[in-house]
Amino acid sequence: MKDVAGKVAFITGGASGMGLAMARSFSAAGMKVVIADIEEAALERVEAEFEKSNADVLALQVDVTDRNAMEQAARRTEAAFDKVHVVCNNAGVAVGGPLDAMDYKDWDWVMGVNLAGVINGVQTFVNRIKAHGEGGHIVNTASMAGHMAIPGLGVYNTTKFAVVGLSETMRADLEPHDIGVSVLCPGVVSTGIFDSGRNRPVDLKTENDTASLVLTADVADAERAERLQQIFSTALDAALVGDMVLAAIQANDPYIFTHPELQTAVDARVAAIHESFARWSKYRSEHGI
Rule CB under 6 A: say whether 16 interacts with ligand NAD: yes
Under the binding rule (CB under 6 A), the answer on residue 93 touching ligand NAD is yes
CA dist., res. 19 & res. 171, Å (int): 21
- Cβ 177 to ligand NAD, closest distance in Å? 25
Contact with ligand NAD (CB under 6 A): which of 39, 168, 178, 209? 39
Q: Does residue 143 sit in helix, strand or coil?
A: coil
Note whether 91 binds ligand NAD by CB under 6 A.
Answer: yes
CB of 12 to ligand NAD, least distance (A): 6
Min dist. Cβ of residue 184 to ligand NAD (A) = 7
Residue 56 carries which side chain, given as an amino acid letter? D
Q: Please give the distance of CA 90 from its chain centroid, rounded to a whole number.
A: 3
106 binds ligand NAD (CB under 6 A): no
How many chain residues touch ligand NAD (CB under 6 A)? 31
Cα-Cα-Cα-Cα dihedral sign, residues 19, 21, 26, 27: positive
**Torsion sign, CA atoms 215, 221, 225, 230:** negative
How far is residue 245's CA from residue 31's CA, in Å, rounded to a whole number?
13
Taking the least distance from each CB to ligand NAD, the nearer of 17 and 97 is: 17
Tell me the closest approach of the beta carbon of residue 286 to ligand NAD, in angstroms: 42
242 part of the interface to ligand NAD, by CB under 6 A: no
Cα 109 to Cα 200: distance, rounded to the nearest angstrom: 7
- Cα dist from 187 to 199, 200, 238, whole Å: 22, 23, 11
Q: Which of 120, 199, 210, 212 binds ligand NAD (CB under 6 A)?
A: 199
Name the helix (H) or strand (E) containing 4.
Answer: none
Q: Which is nearer to ligand NAD, 92 or 136 (CB)?
A: 92
Radius of gyration of the chain (CA): 20
Of 66 and 78, the one with the shorter C-beta distance to ligand NAD is 66
Residue 40 near residue 119, CB atoms below 8 Å: no
* Whether residue 156 lies in the annotated active site: yes
Measured distance CA(236)–CA(17) in Å, rounded: 11
18 contacts ligand NAD (rule: CB under 6 A) = yes
**Residues in 141-160 at the binding interface with ligand NAD, rule: CB under 6 A:** 141, 143
Catalytic residues, by residue number, are 156
Q: Which residues bind ligand NAD (CB under 6 A)?
A: 12-13, 15-19, 37-39, 42, 62-65, 90-93, 113-114, 141, 143, 186, 188-189, 191-193, 196, 199
